[in-house]
C-alpha cells in the first residue's frame, strides 16, 4: 500500500496510522506480507521518519521507499533513515527505484535494505549498468 502522502504532510497522523492498520490487518488475515510505500521523493527527512514510525506501529512487515512513479527512487539517505527505524523494530526495508548497477544494489544492501526493487535486474545480473532514466 502507498501511504496517504497528503494526510501525512497535513499532520493527520491518526488517519495515516488507521489507514495502514486496516491494510496490514487484511494482509495478516490472508497470510500476506505487508509493504508500506512511503514515496520518499515527496517527503522531508522528518516526514520519512514519521511515516516509518507509523508503518512500524501499524505492524507492517516492510517499509518501501517508492512506487517508481514519482520524481526519483531510493536515495542513500532515505534508506539510512528508514533502516534506523525499521531494524530495531525487527522490520525490513525495501529500496526501490534508481538501482541501476551491482554497485548501486550493494550500496543499498550495505545501508540496510533487505529487498530491492529494480527494473534493471537482468542487466545487473549480467554485470552491466542500466541507462534507464529511473
Q: What are the residue ranges spanned by the domains of the chain?
A: 5-125
What are 90-134's pLDDT values in tens digits? 999 999 998 999 999 999 999 999 999 988 888 888 888 887 765
pLDDT digits (tens, 9 = 90+) for 6-63: 999 999 999 999 999 999 999 999 999 999 999 999 999 999 999 999 999 999 999 9
Q: What percent of the chain has pLDDT over 70?
A: 99
pTM: 0.92
- Rounded Cα–Cα distance for residues 81 and 7 (Å): 21
Q: What is the DSSP letter of 41?
A: G
Q: Which CATH class is domain 5-125?
A: alpha beta
Would you give the DSSP letter of residue 31? T
Q: Which residues contact 17 (CB under 8 A, 6 or more apart)?
A: 54, 57, 58
C-alpha 103 chain-centroid distance: 19
Q: Rounded to whole angstroms, how far apart are CA atoms 132 and 134?
A: 6
Q: Let me know how many helices (H) and strands (E) the chain has, helices first.
A: 6, 4
Amino acid at each position: 500500500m502507498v501511504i496517504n502522502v497528503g494526510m501525512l504532510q497535513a499532520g493527520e497522523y491518526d488517519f495515516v496510522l488507521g489507514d495502514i492498520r486496516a491494510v496490514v490487518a487484511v494482509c495478516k488475515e490472508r497470510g500476506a506480507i505487508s509493504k508500506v510505500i512511503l514515496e520518499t521523493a515527496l517527503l522531508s527527512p522528518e516526514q520519512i521518519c514519521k511515516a516509518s514510525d507509523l508503518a512500524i506501529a501499524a505492524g507492517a512487515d516492510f517499509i518501501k521507499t517508492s512506487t517508481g512513479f514519482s520524481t526519483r527512487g531510493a536515495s542513500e539517505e532515505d534508506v539510512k533513515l528508514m533502516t534506523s527505524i525499521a531494524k530495531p523494530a525487527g522490520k525490513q526495508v525495501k529500496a526501490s527505484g534508481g538501482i541501476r548497477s551491482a554497485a548501486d544494489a550493494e550500496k543499498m544492501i550495505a545501508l540496510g535494505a533487505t529487498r530491492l526493487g529494480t527494473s534493471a535486474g537482468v542487466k545487473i545480473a549480467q554485470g552491466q549498468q542500466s541507462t534507464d532514466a529511473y
